[in-house]
Amino acid sequence: METVEIYRETLRHFLAPIQPLLDDPAVSEVMVVGYDTVYFETAGRIQQAESGFEDEPSLMAAVQNIAEFVGRRLDADNHSMDARLPDGSRVHVIIPPSSRRGVCLTIRKFQPATFTLPSLVDRGSMSDMAAEFLATSVLLHKNIIISGGTGTGKTSMLNALSAAVPDEERIVVIEDTSELQLNQPHTVYLEAQPPRPSGRGGVTIRDLFVDSLRMRPDRIIVGEVRRGEALELIQSMLSGHSGSLTTVHANTPRDAASRLETLCLMNDTGLPVHVARAQVASAIHLVVQISRLADGSRRVQTISEAIGLDDSDKYQWRDLFQFQAQGRDKDDRIQGELLPTGLRPTYADEPAAMGFEDRIQLTEGLFARSPEFARSSRSNGSHKTEKNTKS
């Protein structure tokens, strides 16, 4: 029996109290707070499970088993650990005394890459018009930041947007923990590595980003920017590697830009604040802001275009799409739609200039089209009405 298979079987033994939750495809996350308290998330809502571990040593044995397999330590000198289960699920562990209620184990289950822009439309996360706009923006090599809080679906959105990248492009994916699953054939996956118990051998996102620039990428996709590697990403966006996609923890587009600016300043280059702000403002094209609503649903709240700095060096934005709530249904689910605001992006004429006119079906009000294409569209009956674009 191979090592991974042995690990898989022993892990099922140690995690037996929560194994039914891990086997349930409807459960997306399992959260253990001490040996006797277990929560799980399904359909965006957190519930408490009836099961629990027999005692604290049983739970500690389970997390030590995970640590042993991935070559990490959990002890007085190493209070927490990130790891991955054999099926790709992400694991975080924190132990006492840092965790006052006992061992805390959080497992974010691996989800097969089923997310595309059409699937997010079907789930109600965005409108079909917004999906076409984003897909066109990806084709145009716009730098797009996906912003949101924890558990809002940023990685799912990143997966969906990346599906719009043409197959012939070379993509380099950089992540702390590998989650993205692209269908494009020419994709290189790079994953950061924590230091070994000796303290040596660690590989950071920043290290991998420097490597990626030497790999002739057409696109660089970073799972999430958290530290000083933001500066390398921003500068690459400005120097010939446009079309980058990444996520950041923030609650508004303005906060997302400020967060990136702060992360750039964490770099050891000593960049002045005004330079960092100017570079962020120049590099970002779009911010897709995602929120988890009160009913647990994940929705795109706004799609905003960054249009530089004003005279006071403050970020300027144009909201191109905004979510409009329309009450609740009989199941108490929030109803609404992501609608265009009536403003056009500054790059409205680029699809026609780049030969992507055939991609424009629902977003005629946002993107300019050549008169010849418009006439041919009307003649074959494919011309859309103005109703959607003026909503």
The pLDDT value given to residue 77: 86
Average pLDDT score, the chain: 88
Dihedral over Cα of 290, 294, 298, 300: its sign:
negative
How far apart, in whole angstroms, are the C-alpha atoms of residue 237 and residue 212?
Answer: 13
For the ranges 47-61, 299-313, 330-344, 361-375, which has the lowest average pLDDT? Answer: 361-375
Kindly indicate the confidence band of residue 386, based on its pLDDT and cuts at 50, 70 and 90.
very low
- Give me the domains of the chain, ranges plus CATH numbers: 3-108 (3.30.450.90), 117-347 (3.40.50.300)
How far apart, in whole angstroms, are the C-alpha atoms of residue 300 and residue 328?
Answer: 17
The pLDDT value given to residue 370: 54
- Whole-model pTM: value is 0.80
How far apart, in whole angstroms, are the C-alpha atoms of residue 192 and residue 188?
Answer: 13
Q: How far is CA 70 from CA 8, 26, 86, 159, 222, in A?
A: 12, 27, 10, 26, 23
Tell me: pLDDT of 240 over 90. no
Kindly indicate the confidence band of residue 68, based on its pLDDT and cuts at 50, 70 and 90.
confident
